Every structure is written in structure tokens, then in C-alpha cells.
Structure 1
Amino acid sequence: MTASLTRRDALALGAAAAATTLFTPHLARAAVPFEQPPLPYDEGALAPQISARTVGLHYGKHHKAYYTKLNELAPGTPYADMSLEEVVKASKKDGKDAIFNQAGQAWNHVFYWDQFKGGPTAPTGAFAEAVTRDYQNVDGLVAAMVAEGDKVFGTGWVWLVADNGKLAIRGYQDAGNPLPDNLTPLVGIDVWEHAYYLDYENRRPEHVKAVLTGRVNWAAAGEKFA
């Protein structure tokens, strides 16, 4: 038995189809498995520590390219239906370096841009107490991160992490980050040359110090620590 489709039926079917799209992420993103999030501020917002030109190239060229390459590599693999964080952890564990390098850099940069939202702030609460306990003060923490960043040979990252309630600093080469080590990332500074060379040339430590003292939202890092 057939019946004509009423306007109410059509609207109901349309709503059901929309719900399927909204609540089935792996289907909704099938054409483009991973999408680069928008920059959370305009390109000039991080000056003078990071110039608008550097942000434009860093976000618009380098960060974008990691997503483009990941979307070429991921289809047809188990990673295509994972979150970006899951891809980072799983590909590292599986020894899939090509996937890990692109996913790691895509994730690292999302974290990198997000940590500057809200502008520079001072540590507070339990996080401030941990900074005092483990590094004496913010200046001591910054100095330790600058020193670790200078040790990273070639390209990489320097991370402040939470490790069983204590703070620690880890330097990683290339796309490395703390996720596969089951550490909680609090602050991550990019020490690839594309992050600083236009503004600081070969003065990497100056770049790391300027970003840590003039751009990082330490209150947001404290929320991650808590």
C-alpha cells in the first residue's frame, strides 16, 4: 500500500537525515577526514612576539600542509575513523612514521595556537604552587624551557608536561609530543625554523623566551594541570 508524502512527513524525513549527518561524525567527514581548525584570532594578534607575516605563513602554509598530507595518507587505513589525538597515539605505537609525522604536526599546531588565546596570564592555584615547587618561580620555569629548547637538534618541540602531579620539561624532535608517552601537555613551543626565523633569524632561545613570557596563557595551562 502506498501513500502520498505529506509536508509533515517530508519535514520529518529531512530532520532525520540532518540528525544522521550531525551525529555520525565519521560519515560527515568522509570526504575530508581531518579539518584544520580556524585560527582563534587574527594573524596580527600575537605581535610583537610573533609577527603577522610569520603567523600567516606558519598557519596558512605549514600547518595547512600537514592536514593536506594526512588526508592523502589516512583514507583506507584504520586511522581514517579516529580522532586526531587517537591517530597520534596509535600511529606512534604502530611505527607508522609517515602518518605519525603529519598527524603529530597537525595536532601540535592546534595546541600551539590555542595556548595563546586570552593573552598572557600568570599561573594560579595548584599550578602556581607546582611551578614554585619544581622551578622556584615562573622565571626559573622559562629558563629551563629555553635551555631545553636550545638542546633540540634540528627541528622539534619543547613541552611542559604534567607527570604524576609534577611538572617536567621534554624536548622532542620533529613531530614529537607527549601524548604517546601518556604525559599531559601543558605548554608546547615550536622550535622548527618556520616558527621563528622571519622574526628572530637564528636566535631560537630568544624566540622561545619571548613567546613564553609574552604570549602563553599560563592560566589555561593551569586548567590542563588541574
Structure 2
Amino acid sequence: MIKLPPLPYAYEALEPTVSATTMRTHHDKHHAKYVDVTNQLAAEKGLEGRSLEEIIAEAESRGERKLFNNAAQSWNHAFFWTCMTPDRRDPSGELLRLAQEAFGGLDELRARFVQVGADHFASGWVWLALDGGRLAVVDTHDGGTLAHQAQTPLLVCDVWEHAYYLDYKQDRKTFLERWFDTVANWQFAETQLAAAQGGGEAWRFERAA
């Protein structure tokens, strides 16, 4: 089985960008439900004991949409918590060089990330990824994930309404702007980039003990 990972910081650590109320609801209710349903369905489908990444890939190959959506959402949310930090610093080094190459600089990357996320229709995710050696901003719908794709995810922001509605109502664009400016975990993104370039292991969802 898989387990709900704890937040890597206190519920209130990301305030005022993300409130403690939102974090408690998002993590303790939404994420926990995805994990519970994933464990239930994985057991029914004979996938108990598999890693979450393996469950996602197998569910997709079998066309098991309910299992795929819940497993992918379990993975996406765990990755999302890691993509935020109360101790944000600007990107540097290779990541900044690639941002310049792909977008013209960090400001242009920010504009693209916010635009893609704000323009995304309905529920989903906006990702910064390494795709064929080049940075790209992509979005996925509903439970869509980069957990098992050729692209390496560096950062993701949740654009389901439950991620921001308590704090921003319908103003997703302001949420994305503040998220990028204040809590995006660029140190983690740099670790993911290094892994994609052969410098260590990329992030994976931890199995239950």
C-alpha cells in the first residue's frame, strides 16, 4: 500500500500565499482521499505492493481510468507539496541558463507559466519540465501526470479550484503569480534538473514502510 506523505513544512508555513486552512483541506481531505481510493483499487486489481509509479503506468495500460486518476492525483499532490517552500530563493546556474535559452529569462518563464496555468480550462496542473534537454511549460488535465512520461517534471502548480479557491476565489491568475514569486521551490527544481542530466535520482513517491 501507499501512505499519505506528511507535509514538508507546517500548515501555516506558506502563508499568506497559501493559507493554513487551504493546506489542511487540500492535504488532509483531498490528498488523503486519493491515497485511500488508490489503495482500495490497487488491492482489487492485484497491484498491491507495487510502487505508485508502477500502479500509474499499469492502470493506464489497462485502461483503468478510476485507478489511474486516483493514483496520478496521489503522485501529483505529493510532488506538489515538495514544489513549495517557505524559504524560496531564485533559481541559479544551469536552470537559469536553460530558462534564458528557452524563454528569454526568468521573467519570461514566469509570464509563460502563469499564462498557461491561468488559461487552462477546468481542472488540472501546470508543469515546468525538461523535455529533450530544453525547458518547457506544459499543462495536464484532471489527473494527468508527468510521473511516467519522458519529460522530467521540475515544478508543478495545482490549478484545481480546491488549491486556491478559499484564498483567491475565482482569481487563479493572482494565485499563480504569488505562487511563482513567493513559494516555488527552485532548489528542488535544480535537484530534479541535475537528476535528469545524470546527476542523481529524480524524485519518486515513497512506499509505505
State TM-score, norm by structure 2. Answer: 0.89
Q: 2: distance between equivalents of 1:79 and 1:136?
A: 45
Alignment-derived partner of residue 225 in structure 1: 193
Does residue 212 (structure 1) correspond to residue 180 (structure 2)? The answer is yes
Higher relative contact order (CA 8 A, sep 6+): 2
Unmatched runs of 5 consecutive residues or more in structure 2: 195-209
The 2-side partners of 1:194 and 1:162 are apart by 27
Which has more helix, going by share of residues?
1
Whole-angstrom CA distance in 1 between matches of 2:43 and 2:139: 31
Aligned residue pairs: how many?
A: 194
Q: Which has more radius of gyration?
A: 1
**Of residues 143, 161, 165 in structure 1, which corresponds to 2:133?**
165
- Rounded to whole Å, the distance in 1 between the matches of 2:168 and 2:180 is 15
What is residue 69 of structure 1 aligned with on the other side? 37
1:120 Cα deviation from its structure 2 partner: 1.1
The corresponding residue for 2:165 is 197
1:123 maps to 2:91: yes
The 3-state SS of whatever aligns with 2:137 is: strand
Counting aligned pairs with the same residue, the percent is: 37
- In the alignment, which residue of structure 1 is the partner of 2:200? none
Q: Which residue of 1 aligns with 2:79?
A: 111
Which one-letter code corresponds to 1:197 in the other structure?
A: Y
Deviation of 1:179 after TM superposition, in Å, equals 2.7
For residue 81 of structure 1, report the CA deviation from its aligned partner: 2.2
2:124 corresponds to 1:156: yes
C-alpha deviation, 1:79, in angstroms = 2.5
Name whichever of 149-158 and 45-54 sits farther off. 149-158
TM-score, normalised with respect to structure 1: 0.82
Which of 73, 80, 85 is the matching residue for 2:48?
Answer: 80
The amino acid that maps onto 1:182 is: A
Whether the 8 Å CA contact 2:53–2:148 is kept in 1: the answer is no
Deviation for aligned residue 1:180: 3.5
Runs of 4+ deviating beyond 6 Å: none
* Aligned mates of 2:103, 2:114 — CA distance in 1: 13
3-state SS of the aligned residue for 1:170? strand
Q: CA deviation at 1:118?
A: 5.9
Q: Which residue of 2 aligns with 1:23?
A: none
Tell me if structure 2 keeps the 8 A contact 1:148–1:169.
yes
Q: Could you give the per-residue CA deviations for residues 189-221 of structure 1, whole angstroms, max 9, x where no partner exists? A: 000000000110000111111111100111210
Q: Whole-Å Cα distance in 1 between the matches of residues 56 and 90 of structure 2?
A: 30
Letter in 1 for 2:159: V
Q: Deviations over 1:156-212 (max 9, x none)?
A: 001111011100111111011123332101010000000000110000111111111
The letter of the residue matching 2:94 is: A
Q: Deviations over 1:46-81 (max 9, x none)?
A: 101101110010011101110111121111424222
Indicate whether 1:179 and 2:114 are aligned.
Answer: no
Are 1:157 and 1:173, in contact at CA under 8 Å, matched by a contact in 2? yes
Instruction: Identify the residue that residue 106 of structure 2 maps to in structure 1.
Output: 138
| Structure 1 residue aligned with 2:3 | 35
- Structure 1: gaps spanning 5 or more residues: 1-32
Q: Is the 8 A contact 1:156 1:191 kept in 2?
A: yes
Deviation larger for 193-202 or 204-213: 204-213
